[in-house]
C-alpha cells in the first residue's frame, strides 16, 4: 500500500507534483507545469487528464467510470498489456490484459530545466499478474508533461524464457461532436474491421464516424491528426515502436457499456498507438521494447 504522506514526502515537487486521494481511495498524481496540467492514476498508471494552459482538455473521462474493483477506468489513456483485445489464448482472461487494473509503483518524479515534469511508474510480476500470466517482466511507464504529452511504455523480459505481447496506449480523445470529427493520415492504408470479424479493408480518404467503428490499421503511419471542427482543434498523434493503430468508437453500442452514458459516443474517439494483430512483439530474456505516443496541438 502506498501511503499518500510517504509519496508526498518522497516524490512531490514544490508547485509541480503532488499526490492526492481520488475516488474510491485511488491515489492520483496532480501535475502542474507552466505549459500544462495533468492527472495520473496510480491504478493503471493511467493518465486521466492533460490540459495545455488556456486550452481545452485532451481526454474524455466518463462520469460513470468505475474506480478500482478490478475494472478499467473509462477514459484518459488506459494501458492494454500484455495483450490487446480479447484473451489471445481463448481462456477467458480479462480483455486488454491486467496492467490497467493494477496499482503501479512510483519510481521517480522530476522537473526538467524546460519546466516539463517527468513521472516514472513501474509494474513487475506479482501474485495478481501470475493469476493471468506466468511470465516475469519489468514494465515502466514514463509520462512527460509539457507543451506536449509523451507516454513511453517499456517492457523488459526478466523471465528465463521468451514471451510475446500485444499492447496499446488506449487514448480516449475528447471531441466536441462526433459528426464534426475526422482522422487524417490513413488514406490508402489497410485495416482489419473488428465489426466484420476482422475482414481486411482499404481506407479511402479520411476516417469519418457514422456507425460503430472498431479497426486495426496495419503498417500504420508514424503520425496522424484528429481534426475536430466543433472544438476548432487539430491534434497531432505521433507513435514509435508501433506498426498498428486502433481506431474505436462504439456508437450505439455505448448503451451496452455500463460505465458510459448512452450518448457519450458523440464526445470521444479512441486512437490507440498499438502492437496488435500480427504486429505483436517477442522478447528474449533480457530484451526490451518501447511503445511511445506523443500528443500535441497542431496550430
Ligand X SMILES: O=P(O)(O)OC[C@H]1O[C@@H](O)[C@H](O)[C@@H](O)[C@@H]1O
Q: How far is the CB of 265 from ligand X (least distance, A)?
A: 11
* Cβ count near 135 (within 10 Å): 18
Q: Which of 144, 165 has the CB closer to ligand X? A: 165
Residue 138 annotated to the active site = no
Q: What span, in angstroms and rounded, lies between the C-alpha atoms of 165 and 244?
A: 14
Asked if 115 and 34 count as a contact pair (C-beta separation under 8 A), the reply is yes
Q: How far is the CB of 216 from ligand X (least distance, A)?
A: 7
* CA dist 288 → 150, 209, 259, 282 (Å): 19, 36, 34, 10
* CA dist 108 → 105, 112, 140 (Å): 9, 13, 11
Q: How far is the CB of 52 from ligand X (least distance, A)?
A: 25
Phi, psi of 134 (to 5 degrees): -85, -5
Catalytic annotation, pick one of 272, 287, 289, 294: 272
Asked if 144 and 118 count as a contact pair (C-beta separation under 8 A), the reply is yes
Q: How far is the CB of 193 from ligand X (least distance, A)?
A: 11
Q: Which of 19, 248 has the CB closer to ligand X? A: 248
Q: How far is the CB of 257 from ligand X (least distance, A)?
A: 6
Cβ partners under 8 Å of residue 2, min gap 6: 27, 42, 103, 105, 106
Q: Which of 22, 85 has the CB closer to ligand X? A: 85
Q: Which of 54, 211 has the CB closer to ligand X? A: 211
Q: Which residues bind ligand X (CB under 6 A)?
A: 72, 85, 95-96, 170, 194, 214, 246, 248, 272
Residue 289 annotated to the active site = no
Looking from the CA of 130 toward its CB, the CA atoms found within 13 Å total 6
Q: Dig out the grid coordinates for 36 from the structure.
A: 500544462
Catalytic annotation, pick one of 96, 116, 170, 189: 170
Q: Which of 155, 245 has the CB closer to ligand X? A: 245
* Residues with a known catalytic role: 170, 272
Amino acid at each position: 500500500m502506498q501511503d499518500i504522506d510517504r509519496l508526498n514526502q518522497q516524490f512531490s515537487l514544490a508547485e509541480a507534483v503532488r499526490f492526492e486521494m481520488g475516488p474510491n481511495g485511488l491515489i492520483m498524481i496532480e501535475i502542474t507545469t507552466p505549459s500544462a496540467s495533468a492527472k495520473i492514476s496510480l491504478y493503471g498508471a493511467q493518465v486521466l487528464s492533460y490540459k495545455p494552459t488556456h486550452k481545452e482538455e485532451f481526454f474524455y473521462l466518463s462520469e460513470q467510470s468505475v474506480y478500482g474493483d478490478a475494472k478499467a477506468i473509462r477514459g484518459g489513456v488506459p494501458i492494454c498489456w500484455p495483450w490487446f483485445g480479447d484473451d489471445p489464448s481463448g481462456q477467458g482472461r480479462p480483455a486488454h490484459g491486467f496492467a490497467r487494473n493494477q496499482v503501479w509503483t512510483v519510481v521517480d518524479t522530476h522537473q526538467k530545466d524546460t519546466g516539463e515534469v517527468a513521472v516514472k511508474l513501474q509494474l513487475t510480476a506479482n501474485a495478481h499478474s501470475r493469476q493471468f500470466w506466468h511470465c516475469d517482466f519489468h514494465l515502466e511507464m514514463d509520462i512527460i508533461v509539457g507543451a506536449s504529452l509523451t507516454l513511453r511504455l517499456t517492457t523488459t523480459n526478466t523471465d528465463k524464457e521468451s514471451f510475446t505481447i500485444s499492447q496499446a496506449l488506449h487514448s480516449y480523445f475528447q471531441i466536441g461532436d462526433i459528426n464534426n470529427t475526422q482522422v487524417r493520415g490513413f488514406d490508402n492504408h489497410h485495416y482489419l474491421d473488428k465489426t466484420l470479424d476482422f475482414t481486411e479493408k482499404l481506407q479511402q480518404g479520411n476516417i469519418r464516424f457514422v456507425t460503430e467503428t472498431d479497426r486495426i490499421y496495419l503498417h500504420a503511419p508514424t503520425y496522424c491528426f484528429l481534426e475536430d471542427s466543433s472544438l476548432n482543434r487539430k491534434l497531432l498523434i505521433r507513435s514509435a515502436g508501433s506498426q498498428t493503430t486502433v481506431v474505436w468508437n462504439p456508437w450505439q453500442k455505448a448503451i451496452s457499456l455500463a460505465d458510459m452514458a448512452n450518448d457519450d459516443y458523440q464526445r470521444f474517439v479512441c486512437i490507440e498507438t498499438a502492437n496488435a494483430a500480427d504486429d505483436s512483439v517477442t522478447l528474449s530474456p533480457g530484451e526490451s521494447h518501447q511503445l511511445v505516443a506523443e500528443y500535441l496541438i497542431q496550430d
